Amino acid sequence: MSLKMPAEWAPHEAVWIGFPHLAEEWAGAIDAARADVAAFANAVHDGGRGEEVRLVVNDDAQADIAAKLVDAGVRILVQPLGDIWLRDTGPIIAGTGAARRARNFEFNWWGEKFVMPGDKEVGAALAAGSGLPVDDQYWVLEGGGIDVDGTGLCVTTEECLLNINRNPTLTREDISVRLHQSLGIDRLLWLGKGLLGDHTDGHVDNLARFVGEGRLAIPVAADNDDPNAEIYADARARTAAFGEVEIVDLPSPGRFEIDGELAAASYMNFYIGNSVVVVPTYGVANDQAAIDALAALFPERRAVGVSARGILIGGGSFHCSSQQVPI
């Protein structure tokens, strides 16, 4: 039997979080991005009530910068990396307890679009440092391209997983088989496109997220100007046709632009920690509604809104920058 990838709400031993160090990736706003990431790390650590936070920094100089921003209990881990998006470059843990194994997938810079030294190597390094058995997986998969409910049910997008720039020789059926072998996925909900402005080719962790077994959160368009209204509607239609999943409404931040260009701002990029749910906020009208909605969905956790305006300049938010290590 294949080991299943646990749901994000299952207990965590720790979480890896990437720390920004490439100034050119943040359009002059690297300090804002670092502040956002530090606030995220502190929220997840939750004064020791949450989980161990392993803040991954590129070198000793970055460690010194990070140490001034994070709480004393946050562990700073020096490990060369390219960009901060460890959801995609880091390993994915399958199984629980003594059966856990680190699956180290191939990474090709989101279809060779953003090539950075260190991105291909950081996953293997983190996996080796985890103390878990490591299994190299000889195909491309990014953690942001899938979301699971822990029962073997997975949601993804055709735009990403079937993209010719990822695994050009693999069919839909091939990918389904490999997801089963690697992560124990036996039911696969295929959505269509991801958000407009998402440079990852439609990662599902910006579009639809499981919030319970068989319960999938999908945004509701903020207004008539929401650029993703049709994408949300298509995701709902496909989920309804799938027939096995309850749809849960979450707000959308609506149209969000950075320097006149559409950005993939989404409340779906929340992170479920041991004691908190961290909700990215954008300084827009629906921020509090998103926090309240996730608080209601996870009553045993504290929902915390953390500004993501700085980190979003680099193309993602908190879920993108993190990868959990389940117990």
Task: List, by residue number, the catalytic residues.
Answer: 320
CA distance 304 to 241: 33
Q: Element (H or E) spanning 57, and its range?
A: strand 52-57
Positive or negative torsion for Cα 81, 83, 87, 89: negative
Amino acid 135 reads: D
Rounded to whole angstroms, the Cα distance separating 324 from 327 reads: 10
Where b means 16+ CB within 10 Å and e means fewer, 8-38 reads bbeebbbbbbbbbbbeebbeebbebbbbbbb
DSSP 65-105: HHHTTS-TTSEEEE---SSS-HHHHS-EEES-GGG-EEEEE
Indicate the SS3 state at residue 191: strand
- Per the CB < 8 A criterion, the answer to whether 34 and 69 are in contact is yes
